Amino acid sequence: MTPSVDPSSVKVNLTTGTGVDIEWKDGHRSHYSFPFLRDACPCALCDDERSKSGREPGESPKPATGELPMFKAAAKPTSAEGVGKYAIKFHWNDGHELGIYSWQFLRDVCPCEECKAAHTSAKTG
């Protein structure tokens, strides 16, 4: 069965800061933490940076080496808005707001164990 890329419900938990919960029309449920989503930003700038560093969408960047580690506030959107019928966009607390997270993209990067296993087998198979 082909995974659905159409959500039946989307819940953005801005107040609690717990992330985004999507139930897909095929019954699959996905949970995305806000730090995961910020690290998975699909905009050209973030995608280019990830490609250069060899990171996958959602994978955190390695901390810069230095004498003193810099404090970095946890990623959290200040607001979120729908983009047509195909995506969602976040305005992040670090000022970034270029990424448009299509339903297809979100389903492709679903971080649940079942989907991670499917991604791994697709890459190795």
Mean pLDDT of the chain: 91
User: How many residues make up the chain in this entry?
Assistant: 125
pTM of the model: 0.87
pLDDT interval class at 107 (50, 70, 90): very high
The pLDDT assigned to 125 comes to 63
Calculate mean pLDDT across residues 13-30.
95
Render pLDDT for 67-77 as a digit per residue (tens, 0 to 9).
Answer: 666 667 889 99
| C-alpha to C-alpha distances, 19 to 4, 36, 51, 75, 121, nearest whole angstrom | 21, 9, 25, 10, 27
Residues paired with residue 77 on neighbouring β-strands, in sequence order: 92
Instruction: Please provide residue 58's backbone torsions phi and psi, each rounded to the nearest 5 degrees.
Output: 90, -15
Report d(CA 73, CA 102) in Å as an integer. Answer: 26
Q: Poorest-confidence range of 60-64, 74-78, 104-108? A: 60-64
Render pLDDT for 26-59 as a digit per residue (tens, 0 to 9).
Answer: 999 999 999 999 999 999 999 999 999 999 999 9
Give me the architecture of the 7-59+73-124 domain, per CATH: 2-Layer Sandwich (3.30)
